[in-house]
Structure 1
Amino acid sequence: MRFAMNHIAAPKVALVEFFEMAKRLGSTEVEIRNDLPDVMSSWKAADVKSAAEDAGVTILSINALYPFNVWSGDLPAKAEKMADYAAACGAKALVMCPLNEGRAVAHSQVVAALDAIKPMLKSRGLMGLVEPLGFPVSSLRTKKEAIAAITEAGDDGTFRLLHDTFHHHLAGETEFYPQRTALVHISGVNDPGLLVGGMLDAHRVLVDAQDRLENLPQIKALLAGGYAGPFSFEPFATEVHDLADPEAALAESIAFVKAGL
């Protein structure tokens, strides 16, 4: 099992230190972000590439292009800018998230967006990681819907699924697509008073014994189905971001997951 580190697991740790921390934790794969922290706006791509090479880590993705499925306004320019940056910094993929504002987006629009972004990715040797968001207000909640759009856009390997254990649980999905999945995000929710429909990013912590999202069964199902990619920690809760020793907390979560498998 391969663990990876999304920078949001320790957003207050500077980029170089984050890369080095990931390596100490046994993770040679990392994800950088354009929000928290906003690496794209604060680092030159070439410097990110050098820092990753010096630390001995691979940049899996930039997280995230939003809303990828509404191909209008400034999104095409934003997508091209992100693709340029990803290629220049040595990232392998762009994470692509759908509109999450309570407005429906037609299947045909999702396919059109994939058709439009595909040449940008292919010309730069990048992959597009389509991440359904399980929130009730999301315009693309399930992996089944995502696969249908990817298939219609021409399933040549440019697009793969990003399985997020939080969003899988929120969407009520029971199907796993390990052979179509290139990356898995893991996080837990341990607040016993929350209804599933009220779970938000702010509730996402590191996976522990109080986890309500069934991370361990999800991970087991993916591995049993042949998934061989990385599992990347992606907690959003401020109590995780404010930890004095995020490295120790991540090491503890890694140990818990390993023991549970």
Structure 2
Amino acid sequence: MSHPVFGINHIAAPRMVPAEFFRLARSLGLGDVEIRNDLEGNAIVDGTSPSEVKAAAQEAGVRIATINALQRFNEWMPEREREAIELADYARDVGAKALVLVPVNDGSGQAEGERQANLRAALAALKPILEERGILGFVEPLGFEICSLRSKREAVDAIEAIGGEGRFKLVHDTFHHHLAGEPELYPAMTGLVHISGVTDPDVSVSDMRDPHRVLVDEDDRLDNIGQMRSLLKLGYNGLFSFEPFAPQIQHMDDHSGAISASMDRIRAGLI
């Protein structure tokens, strides 16, 4: 079994400007970061040019693995196409490998037949946009009961149906995998793993939400280490990127110490 390669998503330290965030990653010995288009007052939302972000990453010595994310990607319409082109252009120009694709998550588009057709139509439309720019699409099923794409199996089926195996991969999110309750893993189809833990002993699985997502420690209820061990044993050799949404993580004073301790805990658990 290979050792995990860690990365970090900007949501872990959203108050940091990109250059500062990149330096944090490098100080942790990480070579890969994920940037986001949903952080108010920060790139990409504030209009920072991709060339400026790319230069800051190069100066810090890190690679930009993904832009996270094109939201509601499986609700394809002219507005979504414009958003996709804009983000794909940014991903190309900033040197990112992939664009994360997040499905509709408001209770709509869930009907049997409808959700599969919507997914295939969106992937078929996205494929040439991504191909022209030389980037990948990372499809992220969400475990929430209201989500229009909970199943990795459905995502894989749709990718295969449109001949997109070379252009699309899955995001395995340990939080969403636990919530979805779908046991099957797709290591060969997985391009990225998001890791976060839930330690609140009182919240039910069906009530778990993003603010519950902390760094992985010994009280983790999601079995991150078990999920990671299984993926590694099955041959996954990609990135394990920290993606904690809990406010107490985002606003802590010592990101470096806390993330380093979580990495040590995971490595010890995987031995």
When normalised by structure 1's length, the TM-score is 0.98
Report the counterpart of residue 32 of structure 1 in structure 2: 35
**Distance in structure 2 (CA, Å) of the matches to 1:235 and 1:258:** 18
Report the counterpart of residue 53 of structure 1 in structure 2: 58
Report the counterpart of residue 189 of structure 1 in structure 2: 198
**Distance in structure 1 (CA, Å) of the matches to 2:15 and 2:267:** 26
CA apart distance, 1:242:
1.2
SS at match of 1:84: helix
SS at match of 1:36: coil
Q: Does 1:220 align with 2:229?
A: yes
| One of 210, 213, 216 as aligned partner of 1:204 | 213
SS at match of 1:39: coil
SS at match of 1:96: strand
Report the counterpart of residue 78 of structure 1 in structure 2: 83
CA apart distance, 1:36:
2.5
Listed one character per residue, the Cα deviations across residues 164-222 of structure 1 (whole Å, up to 9, x for unaligned) are 00000000011111111010000000000011000000100000011000100000000
SS at match of 1:74: helix
CA RMSD of aligned residues (A): 0.9
Report the counterpart of residue 164 of structure 2 in structure 1: 155
* Structure 2 residue ranges without an equivalent (≥5): none
* Structure 1 residue ranges without an equivalent (≥5): none
| One of 110, 129, 146 as aligned partner of 1:120 | 129
Listed one character per residue, the Cα deviations across residues 4-29 of structure 1 (whole Å, up to 9, x for unaligned) are 01001111122111111101111100
SS at match of 1:231: strand
CA apart distance, 1:254:
0.7
CA apart distance, 1:74:
1.1
**Distance in structure 2 (CA, Å) of the matches to 1:182 and 1:193:** 33
Which residue type is aligned with residue 16 of structure 2?
V
CA apart distance, 1:73:
4.5
Which residue type is aligned with residue 16 of structure 1?
A
Listed one character per residue, the Cα deviations across residues 27-75 of structure 1 (whole Å, up to 9, x for unaligned) are 1000000013542122111101111111111100000101000001411
Q: Which runs of 4+ in 1 moved over 4 A?
A: none
Report the counterpart of residue 14 of structure 2 in structure 1: 11
The answer to whether the 8 Å contact 2:195/2:224 transfers is yes
**Distance in structure 2 (CA, Å) of the matches to 1:156 and 1:142:** 17
CA apart distance, 1:156:
3.6
**Distance in structure 2 (CA, Å) of the matches to 1:217 and 1:31:** 24
When normalised by structure 2's length, the TM-score is 0.94
| One of 68, 74, 89 as aligned partner of 1:63 | 68
